[in-house]
Structure 1
Amino acid sequence: MPRYLYLVRHAQSAEKQVNQNDIGRELTSAGVKQSLLIGGYLLQQQIIPDVIMSSTAERARMTSSLIADALRTDPDKVVLQDDLYEASTRTFFQFITQLEDHQQHIMCVAHNPVISYLAEYLSGAEVGDMVPAGMAIIKFNIQSWKEVSQGNGELENYVTPEMLTP
């Protein structure tokens, strides 16, 4: 049975202000709209993640929460993960291989450059620099998340808010 990983870069955030902690940066109004567009796209495609794992940074948390709202899903499906803030590709990869196998649709909301690197590492496809709220959908034909390895996923789609704007 296939497993799906939805890698989402957080939506557009405000520039860091003097003396502001990076983790506290919030979304702009454009970032709010981007998050709702991605969530609306998922709902239209009837894709409901089993869980939405999010970095603890405010911009990622807000992106995750807005996507969950657009999906009309339980806000408890959003799980904040300290490890996803400033994670290396290796840390992120280890995180994925430890996911629970009863969950087949996992969304991870995090940051560049790691989210872009990870999409390319897992799929072997060239994704480039993911745009804010960009989402790489990677399909794995595996029995367990422990089987995820370099290049064994297939980039099924790369969706950006710009693609969804009428």
Structure 2
Amino acid sequence: MPRYLYLVRHAQSAEKQVNQNDFGRELTSTGVKQALLVGNYLLQQQIMPDVIMTSTAERARMTASMIADALKTDIEKINLQEDLYEASTRTFFQFITQLEDHLHHVMCVAHNPVVTYLAEYLTGAEVGDMVPAGLAIIKFNIQSWKEVSQGNGELENYITPEMLTP
């Protein structure tokens, strides 16, 4: 049975204010709409992640929450991961290869540039610069997440909120 990784860059966030911690930046109203569009797209495609792993930064947490709301899924599926905030490509890759094998559909909400680098590293496809709320759907024909390696994923789709706007 194939395994799917749904890499999501957090939706549009407010600019960092003077004396504000980057970690606490929230989504803008546009960002909320973007995350809901992505969640609605997933719902229409009947894609239901087993778990939503998210960076603990507020903008990523909010993005994960909005997607979960649109999917009408249990908020308990959201799993906060400190390692995904400011993760290197190597750290993120190790995180994926250590996923539990009973999970077949895993969403990770994190930050650029690592989500772009990782999508390209895993698939060999050129994604460019993932936009806010960009979604890379990656399919692996493997038995275990431990088998994930450079180029053995297939980029099934790359979706941007602009593509989903009526």
Where does residue 94 of structure 1 map in the other structure?
A: 94
1:134-145 alignment runs, 5 A limit: 134-145=134-145
Where does residue 148 of structure 2 map in the other structure?
A: 148
1:4-153 alignment runs, 5 A limit: 4-153=4-153
How far residue 86 of structure 1 moved from its aligned partner, in angstroms, is: 0.2
TM-score by length of 2: 1.00
Query: 1-side partners of 2:164 and 2:92: how far apart?
Result: 28
Instruction: Look up the equivalent residue of 2:42 and give its one-letter code.
Output: L
Gaps of 5+ in 2: none
Query: 2-side partners of 1:79 and 1:25: how far apart?
Result: 19
Query: 1-side partners of 2:4 and 2:60: how far apart?
Result: 20
How far residue 115 of structure 1 moved from its aligned partner, in angstroms, is: 0.4
Instruction: Look up the equivalent residue of 2:115 and give its one-letter code.
Output: I
Identical counterparts, % of pairs: 86
Query: 2-side partners of 1:118 and 1:165: how far apart?
Result: 26
Post-superposition Cα deviations, 1:11-38, rounded to whole Å, max 9, x if no partner, equal 0000000000000000000000000000
How far residue 93 of structure 1 moved from its aligned partner, in angstroms, is: 0.2
Query: 2-side partners of 1:53 and 1:23: how far apart?
Result: 17
Post-superposition Cα deviations, 1:92-142, rounded to whole Å, max 9, x if no partner, equal 000000001000000000000000000000000000100000000000000
TM-score by length of 1: 1.00
Query: 1-side partners of 2:85 and 2:10: how far apart?
Result: 11
Query: 2-side partners of 1:149 and 1:129: how far apart?
Result: 21
Query: 2-side partners of 1:127 and 1:162: how far apart?
Result: 15
Query: 2-side partners of 1:49 and 1:21: how far apart?
Result: 30
Gaps of 5+ in 1: none
SS of the residue 1:59 aligns to: helix
Instruction: Look up the equivalent residue of 1:8 and give its one-letter code.
Output: V
Runs of 4+ in 1 over 4 A off after TM superposition: none
